Each structure stands twice: as C-alpha cells, then as structure tokens.
C-alpha cells in the first residue's frame, strides 16, 4: 500500500470547474496498466463517494 500526503497543490485554470475545484473530466487523468504495459485514459464518474455505498447497508 502506498500512502501519500499532499503538501502543495496547484492546477492550471483550464481544468477548474465553475466551482473552482478540479474537474476530473477536464483533467484527462491517465493510469498505467501493468498487464499490458500501456497507459489508459480514466474518464467519467462511476459513483458518488460516501453516498452510493449506503444502498448496500
């Protein structure tokens, strides 16, 4: 497990949403796929943290 603590965060204004927060769709995040030695684009919201899991209780 890797634990990281962010100390300083900055972002180009082009990836900020109307609320001033980073918009994940504008960020165009990528992830490394070690199975295929490729990089893949991460896109789209799949759920709401601390909300969707409540339906499983």
DSSP 8-state symbol, 22: B
The whole-model pTM stands at 0.53
Both structure tokens of 47? 């759920």
CB 52 within 8 A of CB 45: no
Q: Which ranges in the chain belong to alpha helices (H)?
A: 24-27
**Radius of gyration of the chain, Cα coordinates, nearest whole angstrom:** 15
Q: pLDDT digits over 9-26, tens only? A: 788 999 999 999 988 888
DSSP 8-state symbol, 41: E
Residue 48 has pLDDT above 80, yes or no: yes
């Amino acid at each position: 497990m890797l634990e990281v603590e962010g100390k300083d965060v900055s972002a180009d204004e082009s990836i900020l949403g109307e609320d001033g927060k980073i918009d994940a769709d504008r960020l165009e995040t990528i992830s490394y796929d070690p199975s295929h030695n490729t990089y893949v684009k991460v896109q789209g919201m799949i759920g709401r943290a601390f909300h969707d899991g409540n339906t499983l209780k």
